[in-house]
Structure 1
Amino acid sequence: MRSFPIGRTALVTALIAAAAGLSGATAPATASSASGAVRDVCPTARPGQVRCLAKVRTDRHGGRGVRDLAAPPAGYGPADLRSAYDLPATGGANQTVAVVDAGDAANAEADLAVYRDTYGLPACTTANGCFRKVNQAGQPSPLPDDQGWSVEIALDLDMVSAACPDCHILLVEADDAGYGPMAAAVDTAAALGATEISNSYGGGDYNGVDQYAASYRHPGVAVVASSGDSGYGNPSAPAEYPSVVAVGGTSLRRADNARGWSESAWSASGTGCSAYLAKPAWQHDPNCPNRMIADIAAVADPDTGLAVYETGQATGWIVVGGTSASSPLVAGIIALAGNPDRYPDASYFYAHADQLHDIVTGASSGIDCGGDYLCTALPGYDGLTGNGTPNGIAAF
């Protein structure tokens, strides 16, 4: 493996931060789909805001309504994910997974009902106490204006449902995509009893990035965030906060092998070395002197994307990817295992990496790092996929 001197790595990350992160702007996206038929769900973030990381396939349309699984929607469904990651079908009934998003999705509960009904998952509604939607202050009204995140919200709710059908779900809608409102929504989620909190959004690494770090640190609560969809370069906040589990992305395909699946690093999976946040004591990779992301990974490539149902921005069944998918999926798996207190940070995954699928193929479409683990999937830890992907719940 080629190694870069520490000084060079630090310089590269500082230059990346200077170019893309000083104002808190999100790093520019790179090509994310071999098909090219992909668009970003959310608009470009303005200074001081984050951006959701969902990417929707524009060549897959499945119509509205509950589907007959003899002809299932395009994209992977819950049974596929259970098979790929060897997940139990039950568990997590005492867990509440919160998803934090910007703005309202008026059809969120109704769309979630179609997804769950299609795949035979138990109902999760306001009426039965499983589902709850609140504003960033924790109240059912007034809800914020639509910020164009409704596909992101549907993806989050569907992925939590796929991973943990028995979990309760809390949707916290921030007033807008500003760092402050999003952080306030995370605090609200914790105050309302969430045991896991998923954050499928990010902004760049910049001087002062730790301003909102305390909102993403809640003892006894597992806080999870997408690593980003721009490949190797400027790391993403909140994923880079040391109290957060940073979730990268993979390409997941059926295979004729013992697992039944093959998995490689998604070329756009976010990875990078922070120029500003110190390295946690539990992280020991050699060529990044500060906090490195990601910590763990799961399916995110839109070309091997997930079936999602949404009728606000979309027309029903769509195929969605991005690390916006892998974050709520991993949050749901943590809930499925039922041990959120293990995650004051991501150290548990580093101590149990041998119980994950080690991803050893794939490279970043971002800045070239010469084949180093910073941007290339290699045996053991690498930035694109962290310590690996779920292999049952033993590592959770």
Structure 2
Amino acid sequence: MFPEPLTLTQCRTRLGVACYTPRQIRTAYGLTGKRVGHLTGKDVTVVTGIGVIPKTIQHDLDVFSDRFGLPRTKLELAYENGASPSSPQDASNYREAILDVSAIHAMAPRARIVVVAAPTIPNQHAGDLPPAYLDALERYDGDVLSMSWNNFEELLSQQDPALRQGSVALERLREPLVRASEQGVTIMGSSGDWGGLAPSVGALWPTADPVVTSVGGTVLDLDADGHRLRPDTGWNASSGGLSSWFARPAYQDPVSRLVGTRRGEPDISMMARSFWVHDSAGPQPPGWQLVGGTSLSAPLMAGIVALAVEAAGHRLGNINETLYRLGERPGGGIVDVTTGQSSRDAHVGAHAAPTVPEPPGWHGYTAHAGYDLVTGLGTVDGERLIPSLAAAGRGKEDRHEMQEDAVPDDAATSAGK
């Protein structure tokens, strides 16, 4: 813990890592240019949460905002039955909650942020989607859902063998996500921090679900103004893989040579290291701490989507089809990440990966030109991607309105009975 955030130079000399302010991060992701610099996430609602809500979360976000010149925002807190403000024993989870809201706020400083406390997440390790998320999305009219929790398909299948491709149990498990997506909510999920998992592990739930945008992790090398000194590289603890539960969705047809017949993750990647948060929840003295992981990547991407929702003027729903189409188009807002490797020995996950057979000499996946299982399609140029997402969303909205207008009056009357 530090009494004040260190500068970039101090981080490099004292800690041996780079650390960045929200201003540097926003510059790096192209959020300060003429096309999108006016966007703030105003009138957009992002729902997030890791399971607990520290009593100090509003104070910590206020300190974060004041220190980095961001407008203060009032958090909305939603408690599932049985949940309550956290105690110091919840340390591994309350810092995640502080990270989630700080990352979203850094990217979309005027977005409305709803934090969900759902004790089933830390207890069951993402064995199901807590109803509190859907309740919060409906109650607060949520536009984006950011989830920084997950578990292995393999482990969940061991716990419940009924969970297999196309099973009734699997459809029941994913139904809340599908329903939220059908209502136009864009769903972000962290791809995991277990490094290069063996292929037999499969992928992670819920991020491997086709209605979720799986966000992996990258490492940035920026100067003091937020400009890149070199291209981003894949973070060695970022996880990815091929799902054993889900077949390849149609939007991944362009990358079928790599994923084969399975759903591959991640889809996209964002910064995963050295983000400052203010933490006064205890048990340690209040101060500033560097945190990261794909638990940072997902809410950063959720903030990007919030800006695109603001630009479009309505919800965007599942953006994966658009992302994969833009991945084939130079200048569409997707920046390929061609270096880095997910190491099998680099995991920083909260619980152990399942023990499964590994291929001889297995070390992890390698980033390369085009789609890969470390960084997905690559990372984000917000100045180009946000208008592209907004334009694609407007097209969806226009087609939906045309379909409604095309229904004859008598058919509409019958449907309403």
Q: Same fold (TM over 0.5)?
A: yes
Cα distance 1:68–1:362, how it changes in 2: closer, same or farther (>3 A)?
Answer: closer
Counterpart among 228, 237, 243 of residue 211 in structure 2: 243
Quick check: 1:111 aligned with 2:101? no
Q: Which amino acid aligns with 1:226?
A: S
Identify the structure with the greater strand proportion: 1
The corresponding residue for 1:45 is none
> 1:195, 1:180 → 2: CA distance?
24
> Where in structure 2 are there 5+ consecutive unaligned residues?
12-17, 158-162, 165-169, 346-357, 390-417
Shift of 1:310: 1.1
Mapped partners of 2:109, 2:227: distance in 1: 26
1:293-350 C-alpha deviation (Å, 9 max, x unpaired): 000000113xxx1111111145320000100000000001100122574332522110
Paired position in structure 1 for 2:145: 197
The yes-or-no answer on 1:293 pairing with 2:233 is: no
> Among 205, 213, 221, which residue is 1:253 paired with?
221
Structure 1 residues 93-138: Cα deviation after superposition (integer angstroms, max 9, x where no partner) = 010111122123111111010001111111112xxxxx2011126x
Change (3 A) 1:115 1:262: same
Q: Which residue of 2 aligns with 1:187?
A: 134
In 2, the alpha carbon distance for the partners of 1:369 and 1:394 equals: 40
Residue by residue, what CA displacement relative to the aligned partner does 1:161-180 show, whole Å, maximum 9, x if unpaired?
A: 11111111110110232336
Q: Max radius of gyration: which structure?
A: 2
Distance 1:371 1:119 in 2: 46
- After superposition, the Cα gap between the structure-2 partners of 1:70 and 1:203, relative to the gap in structure 1 and judged at 3 Å, is closer
Q: Give 1:29's aligned residue.
A: none
Q: 1:72 to 1:78 in 2, by over 3 A?
A: farther
CA distance in 2, matches of 1:90, 1:113: 22
Aligned twin of 1:51: none
Q: Could you tell me how far apart the structure 2 residues matched to 1:328 and 1:72 are?
A: 26
The residue type paired with residue 62 of structure 1 is: F
Answering whether residue 391 of structure 2 is matched by residue 379 of structure 1, we say no
Higher relative contact order (CA 8 A, sep 6+): 1
* Number of the residue aligned with 2:191: 227
Tell me the TM-score normalised to structure 2 length.
0.70
- Which residue of 39, 62, 66 corresponds with 2:2? 62
Per-residue deviation, 1:190:
1.7
CA gap of 1:386–1:105, structure 2 versus 1, over 3 A, is same
8 Å Cα contact 1:175/1:181 also seen in 2: no
- Give the drift of 1:189: 2.7
Give 1:295's aligned amino acid.
D
* 1:262 matched residue in structure 2: 231
Give the aligned length: 322
**Segments ≥4 residues shifted beyond 3 Å:** 67-74, 144-148, 179-182, 255-261, 339-343, 367-372
Q: Map Cα deviations across residues 224-256 of structure 1 (whole Å, 9 max, x no partner).
A: 000001123232111101100000000111269
- Contact 2:8–2:19 (CA<8 Å) still a contact in 1? no
The offset of 1:186, in angstroms, is 2.1
Paired amino acid for 2:3: G
- Match in the other structure for 1:10: none
* C-alpha distance in structure 2 between counterparts of 1:215 and 1:292, whole Å: 21
Structure 1 residue 366 displacement after superposition: 2.3
> Could you tell me how far apart the structure 2 residues matched to 1:371 and 1:347 are?
35
Q: How far 1:160 sits from its partner (Å)?
A: 0.3
DSSP 3-state at the match of 2:101: helix
Gaps of 5+ in 1: 1-60, 126-130
TM-score for the superposition, normalised by structure 1: 0.74
Contact 2:129 2:173 in 1 (8 A): no
Alignment of 1:24-63 (within 5 A): 61-63=1-3
**Residues 309, 181 of structure 1: CA spacing in aligned structure 2 closer, same or farther, 3 A cutoff?**
farther
2:44 maps to 1:95: yes
| Cα distance in 2 for residues equivalent to 1:68 and 1:242 | 40
